Structure 1
Amino acid sequence: MIALPLREMLNIHYRIHTEDKLFLGDKEGYRQGDSIYFTISGENRETILLEQAALSYYLKENDLEMLAVPIPNAAGEWFTNFADNSWMVMQVQHLSKQNGKTKGIQLAELHQTGASFNYEPKSISSYGQWKELWIEKITAFEGRIESNAWETPSEYYRLLMDFLPYLIGISENAIQYLQESEREQRILQSDQGTTTFIRYDGNANQTIIWADQLMYDHPSRDIAEYIRSVFLKNDRQEKIIRFLNDYQTISPLSVFGWRLLYARLLFPIHIFDFIERGFDSPNETELKQMIEIQTDYQKQLRDFYKFSGVDTARWGIPVVNWL
C-alpha cells in the first residue's frame, strides 16, 4: 500500500492524524505520539485475523507488551473497506526494549501465558492435526510439482523432480514417527495447546510480535522451529542446548513433547516453504543450495537426541536409524 492512501485511511476512518512515516524491517508505518500504525490486508481472511486478534489482546492483558494489536476504526469495526481492499490496522503503543531474558525463557513464559487462554481457536489451530495437515501438504505439493514440471519444463523442475522421491520419503517417515508418538502416554500439563507462532525463529525476543503471526498449537511447534532455524544456519549445538535448558527451567518437556519435537524436525517444512516460494520465482541455484543444506541438516538431526541429553534407551524413545 503506498504512503498517501495509508495516511488518508487512518485520517478518514480512524481519526488518526499521523506525524511521520517510519519502517520496521520491510513494514511501513506511521507515528502519532507514542503509537505507530501499520496496515495488513484482511481480504478473505477475516475469521483468521479476528482469532489472532483475540490471542494478541489476551497476551497483552497478561503483561506481554511488545505486541502489534489490531484496533477498530471510528465506527467500531475491525475491518475497513478502502482502495478496493479490506484492511485491518495494527497499533504498536511503544517500542519496548529487550528485557534481558533469553529466548528460551521468554518463549516458555509466552507458552505458559497462552495456555491459560480459555478458548481454543478454530481457524488458526493446528493442535492435534499435524498428521492430517502434513498428508494434505505432501499430496498438494506432489501434484503441483508434477503438473508444473510437465507444463513448464525447466532445469529447476528437472532437479526438483529428481529430489521429489526423497522429499516424499522423509515426509512419510516423519508422519509415521508422529503417528507412533501420538500413542505416547507420558505427558505433562505443558502438553496442552497454547499460543504459538506460524514460524518461530526467535520472534519472542524481538522488539515486536505481530498478531497476524500467531496461532494455536502444541508448544513443541515453536521449539522445533527455533532448532530448525539453528540447524539450517549450521550454527553451534551449544546454542540449542542453552535454549532447551532455559526453556525447561520454566516448562519441562514431557516424553510426548520430545517425540513431537523430533517428528516436527524430521518433517521437512523448510523445504516445502522453499518450494512454495519457488512456484512464483523458481531459482535453480537456490534449489541446489537447499538440497546441499538438507544433507547437513540431516546429520545434525541424527545427533539431536544425544546432544540434547535425551536418553532414548532409558526413556524408550525410538530413533530414525537411517539418518
Structure 2
Amino acid sequence: MKDVLKEKYGIKVPEILMKGQLQTFTIHHTEFVIVPISHVDEEELYELYQLNHYMNDKKEPYLATIVLTKENYLSFEHDENRYLLLKVPKTTFQPHAIGRDLARFHLKGRSYPYQISKAQRIGQWKMLWEKRLDQLEMFWRGKIYQESLHPFEKMFVEAFPYYLGLAENGIQYLVDTELDEDPHPIDSATICHHRFHKNTWLGDVQMKSPIDWVFDHHSRDLAEYMRFSFFHDQEEFKQYGYKFIEDYDRTSPLSPFSWRLIYSRLLFPVHFFECVENYYLSNGDTFYEDQLTSILDTSDQYEAFLQSYSSMLSMRTKRMVLPQVEWIMPVGK
C-alpha cells in the first residue's frame, strides 16, 4: 500500500496504522484515511466529490476532503479493490448537541444547486422497499420447505411473517403520507447519510466523511439515528432518545410531512432486513445470529417505541396527531 500511495499521490508514507476498520497515516501533523470504495460506482463517486467540494466551500466544520491522485483521479486500485484518500480535518470534533449540528448540516446541504442522479434517494423509498421486501419474501418461501435449517434460519423463517406485516405497514404509511400531506420547503432533498447514528461523526476517526452520503429527505437521518439508539444503547435512548429530535426541530422546524416520513421509516424494519442480508453475505457469521436474537427479543419494546413516538408527537407539537397503525400495541399493554 505504501508503494501504491507513493506512485499514485507522490507521498512517502512513514507508517500505516489501523483505527478500527480504517487504515490511516500522518504526514506533517495531518491525518489521512484510506477508504475502501469498491461498492461505489464512478458516477456516484464523482457526485459525492462535487458534494464534498460544495460543503467545503460552505465551511462545514470537521469535514474530511477527497484527495485527488497525481493524475487527478478520485480513486486508485490495489489488490483488486478500489480506494480513495481522505484528508482528515485537524480540529477535534466537539458536538454540542448532535440534533442541532445535524439540522445545520442539512440546511447547508439543502441549498446544493446541481442535479444529483446516482446518489439520489428522495422519492425512491417505496420502490426500494418493495423490491427489498419481494426479494426477501422469495428467499423465505424457498427456506420454509427445507427440512434442516440452521438456528438463524429457523428464527428467520418463523419471524418473517411478522416483519412482512411491519414492512407493508411502513410502505402503506409512506404512500398515505405522500397523498395526505403537502411537502414544505424544508422537505426538499439534502445531503444525508446511509445510516446516521451517534458514531457516524465520532467513530475511530473523527470526521464527516462524504463516502457516507446520499441525497435524500432529512427524515432518513432522524429515523436511522433513533433506530440505532434504540437497538444499541437502551439506557441512553430512554434518557435522550427524543432530545435529539427536539434539538433538531428547534433549530430547523419539522413539517407534518417530515414527522410522518420519520414514522414510516421507523415502521419499515430496516434493522431486520439488514441483519438477515448481512448473515448470508458473511457466510453465516454467528454475530448476526446473536443480533437477530436480540431484535426478536425486543420486538415488543420496539412496538412500544413506535407507540411512544406517536404519543410524544401529539404532546410535543400540539399541532398534529399521527394517524394510528391499529395493531401497534398501546404503551403499558
TM-score for the superposition, normalised by structure 2: 0.87
Does structure 2 conserve the Cα–Cα contact (< 8 Å) formed by 1:191 and 1:218?
yes
**Displacement, 1:86?**
3.4
SS in 2 for 1:66: coil
Match of 2:303 in 1: 298
Does structure 1 conserve the Cα–Cα contact (< 8 Å) formed by 2:66 and 2:84?
yes
My pick for the range that moved more, 283-292 or 29-38, is 283-292
**Displacement, 1:220?**
0.5
- Cα distance in 2 between the residues matched to 1:303 and 1:110: 27
- Cα distance in 1 between the residues matched to 2:326 and 2:39: 46
TM-score for the superposition, normalised by structure 1: 0.90
Does structure 2 conserve the Cα–Cα contact (< 8 Å) formed by 1:103 and 1:204?
no
- Cα distance in 1 between the residues matched to 2:212 and 2:294: 27
Deviations along 1:176-212, whole A, 9 cap, x unmatched?
1110000233432211100000000125652212221
My pick for the range that moved more, 124-133 or 16-25, is 16-25
**Displacement, 1:285?**
4.2
- 1:56 and 2:52 aligned: yes
Deviations along 1:234-292, whole A, 9 cap, x unmatched?
33444122212211122101001000010001110111111111113254444222211
- 1:21 and 2:16 aligned: yes
- 1:80 and 2:81 aligned: no
Match of 1:3 in 2: none
Cα 1:237–1:305 change in 2 (3 A) is farther
My pick for the range that moved more, 206-215 or 229-238, is 229-238
SS in 2 for 1:53: helix
- 1:179 and 2:157 aligned: no
Unaligned runs of 5+ in 2: 329-333
Cα 1:129–1:35 change in 2 (3 A) is same
Match of 2:130 in 1: 135
Match of 1:169 in 2: 165
Cα 1:9–1:242 change in 2 (3 A) is same
Match of 2:255 in 1: 254
- 1:208 and 2:204 aligned: no
SS in 2 for 1:182: helix
Match of 2:323 in 1: 318
**Displacement, 1:306?**
1.4
My pick for the range that moved more, 143-152 or 123-132, is 143-152
Cα 1:213–1:43 change in 2 (3 A) is closer
- Cα distance in 2 between the residues matched to 1:70 and 1:149: 47
Does structure 2 conserve the Cα–Cα contact (< 8 Å) formed by 1:21 and 1:30?
yes
- The percentage of aligned residue pairs carrying the same residue is 26
- 1:220 and 2:225 aligned: no
Count of aligned residue pairs for this structure pair:
317
RMSD of aligned alpha carbons: 2.3
**Displacement, 1:79?**
2.6
